[in-house]
Amino acid sequence: MIMPEIQIQIDLIKEKLEKADTVTVLTGAGISADSGIPTFRGTHGLWKNHRAEELATPAAFSKNPKLVWEWYDWRRGLIASKEPNAGHYMIAEMEKPFTRFHLITQNVDGLHEKAGSTNPVELHGNIWKVRCTGCHGISFNFDVPIKLLPMCKECGGLLRPHIVWFGEPLDKIDIEKSYAAVQNSNVVLIIGTSGLVYPAASLAGMARENGAFVVEINLERTPISEEMDVTLIGKAKDLLPFFIR
C-alpha cells in the first residue's frame, strides 16, 4: 500500500523520466545495503571498533598496512558472498530507454557491473583491484582471503587496495565524466548516499544548477536533501521498480 503523497511524488518522477533523454544515476552504499552489505556510517558501519574513516586513509595504511588489509580482506569476503538486488537490476534496466544514460557509483563492490550495468564510473575505486605502491601498476585480484601482505609480482612493492581514500584525489577522467554527465542530464537520481563525502556530494547541486530534475532516494533525509526537487523516503530496491518503462 503506497501512501497518496508518495504516489504523487512517484508519478511526478515518472513524468519527468518519460520526457528525459539524458539520465544520470549516482549511487552510494545504501543501494548495496539491500544486498546485505553494511553502509559506512551509523552503528552498522563499525568493524572491530574501528570506524571506516579511521581505516580508509593513506596515513592508516602507512602506519599499519596489515590492519587496513585485514579490514579490506574481511570486506572482500563479505562482498564475495553477496548478490546484486532488485535496485542494482533496475538501474541496469534503466540504461535501455534513454538516449544517454550514465551511472556513477561511490561503491567499490562491483555489484552494478554484476547486475549488468555497462561502464559505471567507479568514483572511489574497486575493491577487486590492487595497486602497487612502488610501480603504481593496477591489476585485478579476486583472492578470498587475499594473502597478507600482498606484494607486486613486477617490482616486489607492497600492494594496496585500488580505492580512493580520504584526502586522495579522485581519478581526473572519472570526475570530468561525472561533472559532464550531471551537467547534461534532464533527470538525476541520487540513491542511497549520506551526501557527506565530497566531491560526490556536490554532484546533486551541480545537476540542479544546470537545470536537471534531481531526485533523492534514501531511508532518511540527508544534508543534500535541500538541493533536491524530490526526496523519496524508502528502500531503493522497493522504489526503483516504479521507474522502469
The residues assigned a catalytic role are: 124
Distance, in Å, from the CA atom of 215 to the CA atom of 208, rounded to the nearest integer, reads 10
Decide: is 199 part of the binding site for ligand BJW (CB under 6 A).
yes
Distance, in Å, from the CA atom of 36 to the CA atom of 38, rounded to the nearest integer, reads 6
Select from 2, 196, 211, 245 the one that contacts ligand BJW (CB under 6 A).
Answer: 196
Distance, in Å, from the CA atom of 112 to the CA atom of 82, rounded to the nearest integer, reads 12
Decide: is 163 part of the binding site for ligand BJW (CB under 6 A).
yes
Decide: is 178 part of the binding site for ligand BJW (CB under 6 A).
no
Strands 159-163 and 125-132: antiparallel
Distance, in Å, from the CA atom of 29 to the CA atom of 87, rounded to the nearest integer, reads 12
Decide: is 120 part of the binding site for ligand BJW (CB under 6 A).
no
Ramachandran region of residue 211, left (φ > 0), alpha (ψ -120 to 50) or beta? Answer: left
Decide: is 4 part of the binding site for ligand BJW (CB under 6 A).
no
> Which region, judged by CB under 6 A, interacts with ligand BJW, from 89-97, 135-143, 189-197, 205-213?
189-197
CB closer to ligand BJW out of 39 and 186 = 39
Distance, in Å, from the CA atom of 26 to the CA atom of 208, rounded to the nearest integer, reads 14
Select from 29, 86, 132, 214 the one that contacts Zn ion (CB under 5 A).
Answer: 132
Decide: is 155 part of the binding site for Zn ion (CB under 5 A).
yes
Closest distance to ligand BJW from the beta carbon of 179 (Å) = 14
The amino acid at 217: I
| Distance set, CA 70 to CA 29, 61, 75, 115, 142 (Å) | 20, 11, 9, 27, 15
CB closer to ligand BJW out of 22 and 111 = 111
Contact 188, 26 (CB under 8 A): yes
**If contact means CB under 5 to 8 A according to the sort of partner, which of ligand BJW, Zn ion, none does residue 47 touch?**
none
CB closer to Zn ion out of 133 and 225 = 133
Decide: is 9 part of the binding site for ligand BJW (CB under 6 A).
no
- In sign, the C-alpha dihedral spanning 131, 136, 138, 141 is negative
> Which region, judged by CB under 6 A, interacts with ligand BJW, from 88-96, 130-138, 171-179, 193-201?
193-201
Select from 9, 22, 186, 194 the one that contacts ligand BJW (CB under 6 A).
Answer: 194
Distance, in Å, from the CA atom of 217 to the CA atom of 231, rounded to the nearest integer, reads 6
Residues that bind ligand BJW (CB under 6 A): 28-30, 33-34, 39-41, 45, 52, 56, 106, 108, 124, 163-170, 192-194, 196-199, 217-220, 222, 235-236
Site of interaction with Zn ion (CB under 5 A): 132, 134-135, 152, 154-155, 157
